[in-house]
């Protein structure tokens, strides 16, 4: 009985010691996430601890805070920007790490890059994979997977609007708007509109700014419909010119 009691005391002491050491080893990483070009805060930038189920968002000022342990890898991301990573080396306490993210040139052209998926689809899948932790979406919710026109994003209204976390909801809304913008940019690109309309330079810029299709309308259009849509409006546009 005495031996069992001594064993219990030993294990309890070891557990307390280990827990204390772990607590001392924990690091609070904090800092600010800015656009590398204009130095403006990026909100809501995301922070993910790859070694643990820990995530965080930067606030409107770009400031963030997340817990980590030595050797943990932190990933700092924002839609349309190249991600940054940090391997934590500090032993306990606080560590300040300011982040400057540069805009990504990842978005591909309208050229078909594979027999199964086009450039927009591949880029859309990459964005979805990169930010899946923050989206809370089922694996298979991409629209139009059997077409050449692109994916699109289907959000569950319950998932998107019932969460209490303001920053996560804000990010999900921002992600959805970004997907719409990327889709429009893919199908209604300057190069494509210029070829169909025959316009160029300032005339093309003016035409596109005053004739921008809505996301929902564009998703409903076939390529043939889009060519007709552009051509019809280009004729009217030229008729207005002196």
Q: Is the pLDDT score of 23 beyond 70?
A: no
Domain spans in the chain, listed from the N-terminal domain onward: 26-101, 119-240
Q: Tell me what pLDDT residue 164 has.
A: 46
Tell me whether strands 99-101 and 27-35 are parallel, antiparallel or unpaired. Answer: parallel
Percent of the chain with pLDDT over 70: 73
Give me the mean pLDDT over the 90-101 stretch.
94
Q: In this predicted model, which residue has the larger pLDDT, 58 or 9?
A: 58
Average pLDDT of every residue of the chain: 81
Task: Give residue 7's pLDDT.
Answer: 52
Report the distance separating Cα 29 and Cα 232, nearest Å. 56
Characterize the bridge pairing of strands 99-101 and 73-77: unpaired
* pLDDT digit string, tens, across residues 60-77: 999 999 999 999 999 999
What pLDDT is recorded for position 11? 52
Strands 27-35 and 46-49: unpaired
Distance of CA 122 to the CA centre of its chain: 14
Could you report the per-residue pLDDT of 106-139, keeping only the tens digit for each?
Answer: 555 544 445 577 888 888 888 998 999 898 765 5
pTM of the full structure: 0.70
Q: What confidence score (pLDDT) does residue 55 get?
A: 93
Kindly report the CATH class assigned to 26-101: mainly beta
């Amino acid at each position: 009985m005495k031996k069992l009691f001594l064993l219990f005391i030993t294990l309890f002491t070891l557990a307390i010691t280990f827990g204390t050491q772990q607590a001392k080893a924990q690091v609070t990483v904090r800092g600010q996430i800015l656009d590398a070009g204009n130095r403006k805060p990026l909100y809501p930038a995301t922070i993910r601890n790859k070694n643990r189920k820990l995530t965080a968002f930067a606030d409107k000022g770009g400031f963030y805070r997340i817990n980590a342990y030595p050797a943990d890898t932190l990933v700092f991301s924002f839609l349309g920007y190249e991600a940054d990573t940090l391997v934590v080396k500090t032993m306990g306490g606080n560590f300040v790490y300011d982040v400057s993210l540069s805009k990504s040139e990842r978005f591909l052209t309208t050229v078909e890059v594979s027999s199964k998926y086009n450039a927009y689809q591949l880029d859309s899948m990459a964005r979805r994979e990169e930010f899946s932790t923050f989206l809370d979406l089922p694996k298979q919710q991409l629209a139009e997977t059997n077409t050449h026109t692109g994916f699109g994003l289907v959000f569950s209204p319950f998932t998107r609007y019932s969460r209490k976390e303001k920053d996560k909801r804000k990010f999900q809304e921002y992600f959805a708007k970004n997907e719409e913008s990327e889709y429009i940019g893919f199908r209604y690109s300057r190069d494509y509109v210029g070829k169909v309309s025959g316009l160029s330079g300032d005339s093309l810029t003016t035409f596109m700014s005053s004739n921008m299709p809505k996301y929902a309308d564009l998703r409903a259009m076939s390529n043939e419909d889009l060519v007709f849509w552009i051509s019809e409006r280009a004729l009217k546009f030229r008729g207005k010119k002196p």
